[in-house]
């Protein structure tokens, strides 16, 4: 008998009654006449014992084993992955060998700490004297399976396009009403309402309470969502919950809820505070907020800040206009102050000065001309006077003229009885020819 082998089924039965049929089956083999006849004189060889152990273990057949993966060794180029599988309660471990293809095909990566159920055949490796469970199938259980299922759903819905960026609707700047879906009297509700009121005292909430965890959560959240969607005044919907475990948040990954949110025309903000394991709601929502407070900040503008911004803009516009206006005014004043406009008479007086100057030049020219003529006349008159016979006449000479004015210079110039004019210094005498004689 091999004590280790006979004890093992008992321990297995004790810790994991699920596998009782196999263990019992194995136990049956234990009572079959396998015992070898050995003695100090006739010892069995190692190979014989190893083969016997191997054959015995082989008879255990295929079993399902549940445990926690404590170690994963994946060596480059090796077709086998070695796992350490530990009992969930007792400090008992067993080695598992799994084909690399099996491990790689898992939808969730097999990591240390994962709870798994393995379908395996206990196998004894004779050359190293090592027992190992040769895995044929590995399934995640508990959290691992949940996450794997979520991941699978995420991939399907993503492929369907439910999470596409093109579906994301912008949030309204100033919502008429803010729809809020949250648990009655929850911290999330208080956070959203308080932060919202602080930012905009006039904000109006339309609050629908729903179970935010448990079996009714999905249905109640969908109902609340549909009622808020039906309310035309609700411009944005916040789904808020203050975090929780992956299991708590499962309703927010429910396919029915994801599709309901996708079908909603009102923008939806997801505020299911959880960092690591994103509920699918976060992906389908139009905006993902880290916390309910964050959701309130995104949905509701800070009115004080906004009005300050508007005021600032108005002041800048006014200043710009005033600067422009005074600049233009200055320019216009400059134009008006130019001499041509300010004193239009200056052009006229300039012109009249020109005219005056011309007039003076004309006057000067004319008067000098007149003066020159006068001088000329006086000169000529003097010369005429110098040539006058009057002085001679004053000495007693006189000039005799016929009535026609011709001077009498010879006796033949006159006839007897003809009238004659005798000019003397102070006048003239009229006489008649009474006789003539030649010298």
Partner 1 sequence: MSDKKLSYEQARDELAEIVRQLEVGGAPLAESLALWERGEKLAQIAQAHLDGARQRLDAALKKASD
Residues that bind partner 1 (CB under 8 A): 314, 318, 321-322, 325, 328-329, 331-332, 335-336, 338, 340-341, 344, 347, 351
Cβ 268 vs Cβ 277: under 8 Å: no
> Across 323-393, where does the E strand assignment appear?
none
In the complex, least distance from residue 347 CB atom to partner 1, rounded to whole angstroms? 6
Q: Which is nearer to partner 1, 263 or 335 (CB)?
A: 335
In the complex, least distance from residue 187 CB atom to partner 1, rounded to whole angstroms? 42
Nearest-angstrom CA–CA distance, 373 and 370: 5
Nearest-angstrom CA–CA distance, 260 and 279: 15
Nearest-angstrom CA–CA distance, 165 and 213: 28
Q: Which is nearer to partner 1, 112 or 356 (CB)?
A: 356
In the complex, least distance from residue 331 CB atom to partner 1, rounded to whole angstroms? 7
Cβ 178 vs Cβ 299: under 8 Å: yes
Q: How many CB atoms lie within 10 A of CB 373?
A: 10
Q: Which is nearer to partner 1, 233 or 353 (CB)?
A: 353
In the complex, least distance from residue 359 CB atom to partner 1, rounded to whole angstroms? 17
In the complex, least distance from residue 317 CB atom to partner 1, rounded to whole angstroms? 9
* C-alpha pair distances (Å), 347 with each of 125, 332, 337, 340, 401: 125, 21, 15, 7, 71
239, β-bridge pairs: 181, 270
Cβ 81 vs Cβ 135: under 8 Å: no
Q: Which is nearer to partner 1, 335 or 378 (CB)?
A: 335
Q: Which is nearer to partner 1, 128 or 338 (CB)?
A: 338
Nearest-angstrom CA–CA distance, 328 and 322: 10
In the complex, least distance from residue 307 CB atom to partner 1, rounded to whole angstroms? 13
Q: Which is nearer to partner 1, 326 or 392 (CB)?
A: 326
Nearest-angstrom CA–CA distance, 253 and 279: 5
In the complex, least distance from residue 345 CB atom to partner 1, rounded to whole angstroms? 10
In the complex, least distance from residue 354 CB atom to partner 1, rounded to whole angstroms? 11
Q: Which is nearer to partner 1, 36 or 321 (CB)?
A: 321
Question: H/E element holding 388?
Answer: none
Q: Which is nearer to partner 1, 332 or 382 (CB)?
A: 332
Question: Closest Cα partner for 162 from 304, 262, 270, 264?
Answer: 262
Nearest-angstrom CA–CA distance, 255 and 237: 19
Q: Which is nearer to partner 1, 77 or 344 (CB)?
A: 344
| Beta pairing class for 177-182 and 234-241 | parallel
Question: Closest Cα partner for 287 from 334, 248, 238, 335?
Answer: 238
* C-alpha pair distances (Å), 184 with each of 57, 296, 386: 59, 17, 149
Cβ 433 vs Cβ 414: under 8 Å: yes
Nearest-angstrom CA–CA distance, 435 and 10: 216
Q: Which is nearer to partner 1, 333 or 439 (CB)?
A: 333
In the complex, least distance from residue 340 CB atom to partner 1, rounded to whole angstroms? 4
Helix, strand or coil for residue 64? strand
In the complex, least distance from residue 266 CB atom to partner 1, rounded to whole angstroms? 36
């Amino acid at each position: 008998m091999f004590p280790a082998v006979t004890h093992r089924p008992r321990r297995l039965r004790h810790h994991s009654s699920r596998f009782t049929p196999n263990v019992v089956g194995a136990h049956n083999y234990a009572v079959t006449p396998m015992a070898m006849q050995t003695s100090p004189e006739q010892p069995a060889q190692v190979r014989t014992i190893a083969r016997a152990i191997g054959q015995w273990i082989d008879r255990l057949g295929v079993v399902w084993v549940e445990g926690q993966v404590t170690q994963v060794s994946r060596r480059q180029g090796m077709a086998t992955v070695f796992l350490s599988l530990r009992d969930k309660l007792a400090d008992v471990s067993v080695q598992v060998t799994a084909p690399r293809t099996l491990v790689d095909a898992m939808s969730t990566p097999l990591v240390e700490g994962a709870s798994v159920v393995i379908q395996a055949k206990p196998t004894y490796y004779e050359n190293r004297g090592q027992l190992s469970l040769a895995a044929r199938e590995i399934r995640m259980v508990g959290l691992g399976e949940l996450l794997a299922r979520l991941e699978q759903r995420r991939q399907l819905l993503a492929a369907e396009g439910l999470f596409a960026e093109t579906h994301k609707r912008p949030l309204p700047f100033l919502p008429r009403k803010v729809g809020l879906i949250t648990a009655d009297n929850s911290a999330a509700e208080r956070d959203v309402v308080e932060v919202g009121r602080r930012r905009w005292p006039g904000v109006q909430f339309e609050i629908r309470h729903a179970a935010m965890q448990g079996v009714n959560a999905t249905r109640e959240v969908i109902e609340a969502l549909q009622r808020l969607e039906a309310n035309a005044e609700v411009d944005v919907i916040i789904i808020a919950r203050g975090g929780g475990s992956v299991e708590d948040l499962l309703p927010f990954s429910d396919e029915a809820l994801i599709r309901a949110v996708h079908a909603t025309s009102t923008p939806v903000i997801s505020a299911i505070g959880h960092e690591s394991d994103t509920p699918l709601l976060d992906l389908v929502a139009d905006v993902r907020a880290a916390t309910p407070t964050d959701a309130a900040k995104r949905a509701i503008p800070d009115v004080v800040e906004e009005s300050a911004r508007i005021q600032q803009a108005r002041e800048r516009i006014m200043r710009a206009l005033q600067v422009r206006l005074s600049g233009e005014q200055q320019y216009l004043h400059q134009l008006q102050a130019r001499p041509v406009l300010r004193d239009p008479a200056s052009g006229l007086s300039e012109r009249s000065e020109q005219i005056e100057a011309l007039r003076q030049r004309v006057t000067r020219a004319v008067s000098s001309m007149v003066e020159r003529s006068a001088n000329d006349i006086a000169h000529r008159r003097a010369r005429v006077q110098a040539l006058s016979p009057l002085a001679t006449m004053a000495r007693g000479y006189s000039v005799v003229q016929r009535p026609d004015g011709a001077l009498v210079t010879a006796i033949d110039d006159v006839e007897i009885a003809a009238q004659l004019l005798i000019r003397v210094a102070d006048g003239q005498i009229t006489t008649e020819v009474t006789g003539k004689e030649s010298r």
